[in-house]
Amino acid sequence: MKKVVYVTGCFGFIGSYVTRECLKKGWHVMGIDKMTYAYFPDAYNEFMEHPNFSFERIDINDIEFLYECDYIINTAAETHVGNSLVKSENFVHSNINGVHNLLELIRNYRAESKNLPTLLHFSTDEVYGDITDGEHIETDILKPSNPYSATKAAADQLITAWGRTYDIPYVIIRPTNNYGIGQYVEKLIPKSVKYLQLEKKIPLHNEGTPIRNWLHAQDTANAVIKIIESKVQNEIYNICGGFEQTNLDTVTKIITLYHPKDEVLSETFPHYDQRRINQYLDLDIVRKGQDVRYALNDDKLRSLGWEPQMDFDSELPKIIEYYKQNFIW
């Protein structure tokens, strides 16, 4: 029988990759999205033409009932750390209250004697807090350090508690720093391209020293499919791309790719003239609570047969070119 899945945040960055892969499998996707500033118009145009896709424009807090389905894949969330420092109530609303509503919808589903759908929830590596050496595993204590990660950690705790108390099936996935085409301009890679196009200095927190592990959204979507097809329940999985570097190194690569005719900037990394690079950067910004490094161990997921396929340095030029050609400021 064909699977039926809800994807919340279906036109968002991660949600659009997940939706696309579900449709490729021949599943019916019921998309949910309130279409805020960060939705991806290309995904909307693509999916609305697909015969196996249906859509409702609604906030996950306002959903009042569920059609019969196999999975609810929850990618809907407020995700930008900087915004959470200014207006944390939006993050509580979407990331905690919204998840609570989904859990209650599933719990009430039981009263109608239907097969209970599994909640496959997108968390984040940031729930663990930072780690200077080594890698976090799924059983580590959660130590979020900013309002965004605190709301995601709270949602994780809600899900595991509802799973234990009400026997609601769930899977929580915690990916590292996702990248790819379709991110809104507030994220590091598209934001850097934007500032270069506007001939403004790229702002980097804490002199660009924070280290991030990069994971392509396509690899994340593939992990979702692998988890669903493996039929696992009541588990937590880390997902990482196996490639980490400082934010300064990431932006340095973006600058050199954006200015390919500059012979000094185009020398083989890491032999750039840092003084030439710094002319494009604003390194005076300090963010309180800035995590130094995120790193995950994803052996548990790889035991299911998944591994990342996308190479950061190979994908970055394509992503930069897309943003140069397609962004409307």
Q: Report which of residues 213 and 260 the model is more confident about.
A: 213
| pLDDT of 179 higher than 90 | yes
Q: What is the 3-state secondary structure (H, E, C) of the chain?
A: CCCEEEEECCCCHHHHHHHHHHHHCCCEEEEEECCCCCCCHHHHHHHCCCCCEEEEECCHHHCCCCCCCCEEEECCCCCCHHHHHHCHHHHHHHHHHHHHHHHHHHHHHHCCCCCCCEEEEECCHHHHCCCCCCCECCCCCCCCCCHHHHHHHHHHHHHHHHHHHHCCCEEEEEECEEECCCCCCCCHHHHHHHHHHCCCCEEEEHHHCCEEEEEEHHHHHHHHHHHHHHCCCCEEEEECCCCEEEHHHHHHHHHHHHCCCCCCCCCCCCCCCHHHHHCCEEEEECCCCCCCECCECCHHHHCCCCCCCCCHHHHHHHHHHHHHHHCCC
Its pTM stands at 0.92
CATH number at residue 236: 3.40.50.720
As for how many domains the chain has, the answer is 1
Judge whether 147 lies within some domain.
yes
What range defines the domain where residue 65 resides?
4-184+213-243+292-309
Q: Is residue 323 part of a domain?
A: no
| 318 is a domain residue | no
What rounded mean pLDDT belongs to the chain? Answer: 91
Of the pLDDT bands very low, low, confident and very high (cuts 50, 70, 90), residue 110 is low
- pLDDT(92) > 80: yes
Residue 132 lies in a domain: yes
Residue 219 lies in a domain: yes
**pLDDT > 90? residue 189:** yes
From 33, 78, 125, 138, the catalytic residue: 125
- Whether residue 278 is predicted with pLDDT greater than 90 in this model: the reply is no
Q: Which of 126, 130, 219, 298 is catalytic?
A: 126
Is 280 a member of any domain? no
Task: Pick the catalytic residue from 148, 237, 280, 294.
Answer: 148
Tell me whether residue 130 is one of the annotated catalytic residues: no
Q: pLDDT tens-digit profile of 43-78?
A: 999 999 999 999 999 999 999 999 999 999 999 988
Domain contains 263: no
The answer as to whether 266 is a domain residue is no
Please give the residue that has the higher pLDDT: either 131 or 2.
131
Per residue in 214-256, pLDDT tens? 999 999 999 999 999 999 999 999 999 989 999 999 999 999 9
